[in-house]
Amino acid sequence: MEDLEFYETFSRDVTSGKHEDLSIQDRLPNKINWLVDNEEFSIACDQGLIAKQFRSNILVIEAPYDLEKNSAYLVTVKGQLISSIPKKYDCVSLTFYDILTSPPYAILLAASTSGDFQLTIDPRNGTIHKSAPFR
């Protein structure tokens, strides 16, 4: 699968040079759109989102700075849900905040009261292969 081109929509003007009054959450897109076979797909979240394509799927974090609304999940490029990533893993409650690549896996970074963790995810099906502390 070719790389998708995401078109981002922001709730605030992040293109101007004045960012002093913007929080990190304000600097995140609140909607992404992409085209597949001339069909448009989108994901939106008022609290911001992070999305990265891996192979023929997209890993998404919604509301990375909102403890209540935070979630992570994997969808196909056609927007169909493959897997929701659990917010509790090994008895630790997680708040997802970033996505890294380490082929053939994706890595979700997550904060917790026990410190930060990285979850190694199979980007084909959302299976968690391992978790480890992250500093």
Of the pLDDT bands very low, low, confident and very high (cuts 50, 70, 90), residue 98 is very high
- Asked if residues 101 and 107 have their Cβ atoms less than 8 Å apart, the reply is yes
pTM of the model: 0.87
Q: Name all domains of the chain by residue range, CATH numbers in brackets.
A: 7-134 (2.40.128)
Which tokens hold the place of 73? 């999940």
Q: Which of 1-5, 64-68, 96-100, 127-131 has the lowest mean pLDDT?
A: 1-5
Non-local (6+) Cβ contacts of 22 within 8 A are: 12, 14
Residue 55's closest CA among 116, 4, 107?
4
Residue 24, phi-psi category: left (phi > 0), alpha (psi -120 to 50), beta (remainder):
alpha
